[in-house]
Amino acid sequence: MIQQQPSDVLEIHYEGRWYYLVVVTKIIMFGGNVVYAFHGNGEKIKAFKASSEMPGFNICTDLLLPKKEGEVIRIGKVTNPSEYLVSHLMKGCNEHRPGFKAKEWFLYSINEPQNILGRVKKLKPEQELAMDYAMFSFDLTAKKILDSYTPDNNQFINKKGGMFGLFS
């Protein structure tokens, strides 16, 4: 079984679809790595070449499901995984009711996710792009990849979609 490391480019076959990721950090939260997940339609890409210019998003995810029920293949490495960080911040809120905007946001550093950097009432545009402060199982990450999710589409920012954009 592969043990992913920062800078790995991974091709994942899960539930009949293909996904492509760059591992950005070591495990930081509940068994998950921060990865850059490339938007895709589930089709296999021959000779996939990672580029930080390709559309995608950062997310903290674990690879337990595809390792157990699918396939995780290391297809390359990138020179500098930090190029794949959209933001060095993570954002979280205490609002959990679908359809309600958050009234307060907590900001965290990817380097020290246990420490709150600050609280804000309204996110600035660059803070909206910060990844969501959560660790997602790969089935949820896969849905976000197929939906071309970006963190500024978090339903608690703009009232769009369901919880964390999962049910939109």
Do residues 91 and 107 touch, judged by C-beta distance below 8 A?
yes
> Over the Cα atoms of the chain, what is R_g?
15
Query: 14-28, 117-131, 152-166: which has the minimum mean pLDDT?
Result: 152-166
pLDDT at 140: 95
Interatomic CA distance for residues 40 and 55, integer angstroms:
9
Cβ-based neighbours of 114, under 8 Å, separated by 6 or more = 108
Task: Give the model's pLDDT for residue 161.
Answer: 42
Q: What pLDDT shows up at residue 99?
A: 74
| Mean pLDDT, range 147-167, rounded to an integer | 65
Name the residue with higher pLDDT: 160 or 36.
Answer: 36
Characterise 106 by phi-psi region: left (phi > 0), alpha (psi -120 to 50), beta (else): beta
List, for residues 40-79, the tens digit of each pLDDT value: 999 999 999 999 999 999 999 999 999 999 999 999 999 9
Cα 101 from chain centroid (whole Å)? 21
Confidence (pTM):
0.86
Asked whether the predicted pLDDT for residue 151 surpasses 90, the reply is: no
Digit-coded pLDDT (tens) for 122-146: 889 889 889 999 899 999 999 999 9
Arithmetic mean of pLDDT, 29-36: 88
Percent of the chain with pLDDT over 90: 61
Q: Indicate the residue type of 27.
A: I
Evaluate whether 56 touches 36 at the Cβ level (below 8 Å).
yes
Residues 35-71: b if buried by 16+ CB within 10 A, e if exposed: bbbbbbeeeeeeebebeeeeebbbbbbbbebbbeebe
